[in-house]
Amino acid sequence: MRQVKGVLFVLAQDMSASSEYITASEALAALDPKAAKKAIAARDNGRLVDMSAPVPPGAELTPVLPGDPESLDILRHSAAHIMAEAVKELFPGVKVAIGPSIDDGFYYDFDYERPFTPEDLPAIEKKMSEIVRQNAPFEHDLWPKDQALKYFGDQDEAYKLDLIEGLEDDQVGIYRQGAFTDLCRGPHIPSTGKLGAFKLTSVAGAYWRGDEKGPMLSRIYGTAFFDRKELKRHLQLIEEAKKRDHRKLGRELELFSFHDEIGAGMVVWHPRGMILRNIIESLERAEHLRRGYSMVQGPQILKRELWERSGHFDNYRENMYFTEVDEIAYGIKPMNCLAHMLIYKSKRRSYRELPLRYFELGLVHRHEKSGVLHGLTRVRAFTQDDAHLICRPDQLEDEILGVMAFVTDFMELFGFEYTLELSTRPDKSIGSDEDWDRATAALSKALEASGKQFEINEGDGAFYGPKIDFKLHDALKRSWQCATIQCDFTLPDRFDLTYTGDDGEAKRPVMLHRVILGSIERFIGVLVEHFAGAFPLWLAPEQVRVLTVTDRADQWAQEITQALKDADLRAEVDLRNEKLGAKVREAQLMKVPYMVILGDREVDNREVTPRLRSGKNLEAMELESFIKMLKAEQAEPTERLRQRGRERQ
């Protein structure tokens, strides 16, 4: 054996006379026993395999160690299997469905005579700990499909049969640990004793295969880490996330609500929520105009034949709503691009006019399954800050870089960091290979020109083109998908968009679909959690609350409140005959940035004593000085944004 740059090469002469193969564990142990002992899996020519997997001569092996990018995924997938074994032992008759790892943990879906509850979790955790102490090996096998069908049929595991019947391969991956056998591709940790630190976190309902018409299952969530310190930090983040949950804060801060009488996934915006929303939307309108965009608006419903022409009917129909007017079929728009292309086609275009940038805060509707709806972050009716940039091919890179700069400016305004992904052609798509290659190359070239690092997300592009996705990272370092840039050579061809070139010939433009914040609803949900509801002054629905100590201060309080409103500041006055402490607590719970507390001294001196929501008291000052201070604080973030916009023109 030899090692080059951390890769172990298994040579033919290393093989024993009795066997052509050795296991990955044996191969790694021969070179580096310490690494082999720590390894939870291996890469065989880049392919993840179990430590017990046989490796042939010529294999290129590297150990997968705790801390490697794939390690947590393998650990958590194994934890899901261990949890399933524990549930099977504790609840006879339960049927198992699927149990993958997810971004921050794992889950497994079960079908039982009753839904599981949080009260069941301690017993399941205890049983999991017993299984871990048994240190049973994870054993992999390949069964013929018929054998797998017979085994799981004998076990009355209907969901496994459903999965197997949907497989095209003749052989099925099987894993065993202890008394539990599961359908799985793997890989897994070498044995249950390698699990480390774990915690079951919650239970929920989930439809089989996400289909509302399918059976409702019980989903148990958990998480796992390689050591207890990492688990403790994660659980602390979970507790902080609960405090920041935008659904909870949305109610408490009177921003928005949902009502069964209206329907799932439909938001009702309250006065405070509309103030917050209007601040963001007004800022977006002004900044788009400043950066060379034109405001447009399309209708809510368009004829079905248009959706057929665009490819949405064949490739996106399951996410759309349809209706009929005068016996003509219409689709309720899930996107804004069709009307924008028709605006472009309304007259002949010259190469001198391009690029054209059409911007719309467009209300769209998408048929999201009820099982995935989640507060503002997954709804059925939402507004996109949508734009379509139609340009010449030679302008494409500059336009992509311009959108990337636009996103960067807005993310800095709100205090978000982000990472980038280039998402490529999905299985379900339209357009020629040549167009997809050109579009992908254009996005890749712009990303490289920007100097920013990015990852490839294979097969996750839109059905009409590849895209750059911006993954925002909030105050808790959670990732959110909001901004995106999609490069589209296909729809301009389907809608016969043209411009007259400098040679007098008709030429085909390119179209960029892009959003900066994405869904306004989703972004506000993320924003609420990012700031924990304590918005900076410029975003706060209520910026100042004026509080009186006695009735003698009422007149001065009303004058102050009116002066603040006249200065375009958002102020409210509390004249109730309540104890001052109660008034202050209520303002703090509503996360109002400033309070003005008025007693006899403030009335006599016609001054104000500001108090921050943190509890810090400022020195008494004249009203004019207070207003000047607030105006400067309010203007500073958006003035920075405007300055960046001017610099980028």
Core vs surface per residue 327-349: b (16+ CB within 10 A) or e: eeebbbbbbbbbbbbebbeeeeb
Active-site option among 77, 388, 438, 514 = 388
- Please indicate whether residue 388 is annotated as part of the active site: yes
Long-range contacts at 602-605 (CB < 8 A, ≥ 24 apart): 602/553, 602/556, 603/552, 603/553, 603/556
Q: Is 473 within 8 Å of 418 (Cβ atoms)?
A: yes
Active-site option among 513, 545, 591, 613 = 513
* CA 441/CA 411 separation, integer angstroms: 26
* CA 303/CA 386 separation, integer angstroms: 21
How many other β-carbons are positioned within 10 Å of the β-carbon of residue 299? 10
Parallel, antiparallel, or unpaired: how do β-strands 294-295 and 356-365 relate?
parallel
Active-site option among 366, 438, 522, 611 = 366
* CA 631/CA 636 separation, integer angstroms: 9
Which residues, in sequence order, are CB contacts of 15 under 8 Å at separation 6+?
A: 21, 22, 57
Q: Is 218 within 8 Å of 201 (Cβ atoms)?
A: no
- Please indicate whether residue 337 is annotated as part of the active site: yes
Active-site option among 384, 486, 543, 634 = 384
* CA 444/CA 438 separation, integer angstroms: 10
* Helices 520-531 and 271-290: angle between axes, nearest 10 degrees: 110
Core vs surface per residue 83-106: b (16+ CB within 10 A) or e: bbbbbbbebeebbbbbbebeebbb
> Which phi and psi (to 5°) does residue 119 adopt?
-70, -20
Q: Is 365 within 8 Å of 380 (Cβ atoms)?
A: yes
Active-site option among 246, 291, 337, 574 = 337
Active-site option among 50, 120, 182, 386 = 386
End-to-end CA distance of the chain: 60
* CA 196/CA 224 separation, integer angstroms: 7
Spatial CA neighbour of 321 closest among 331, 307, 310: 331
- Please indicate whether residue 73 is annotated as part of the active site: no
Which residues, in sequence order, are CB contacts of 473 under 8 Å at separation 6+?
A: 416, 417, 418, 419, 479, 480
> Which phi and psi (to 5°) does residue 598 adopt?
-115, 115
- Please indicate whether residue 513 is annotated as part of the active site: yes
Q: Which amino acid is at 176?
A: R
How many other β-carbons are positioned within 10 Å of the β-carbon of residue 254? 14
* For the chain, the helix, strand and coil percentages under 3-state DSSP, each to the nearest 5: 40, 30, 30
Active-site option among 467, 545, 570, 583 = 467
Q: Which amino acid is at 128?
A: M
As a dihedral over the C-alpha atoms of residue 429, residue 432, residue 434, residue 438, rounded to 10 degrees, the angle is: -50
Q: Is 620 within 8 Å of 601 (Cβ atoms)?
A: yes
- Please indicate whether residue 366 is annotated as part of the active site: yes
Active site residues: 337, 366, 384, 386, 388, 467, 513
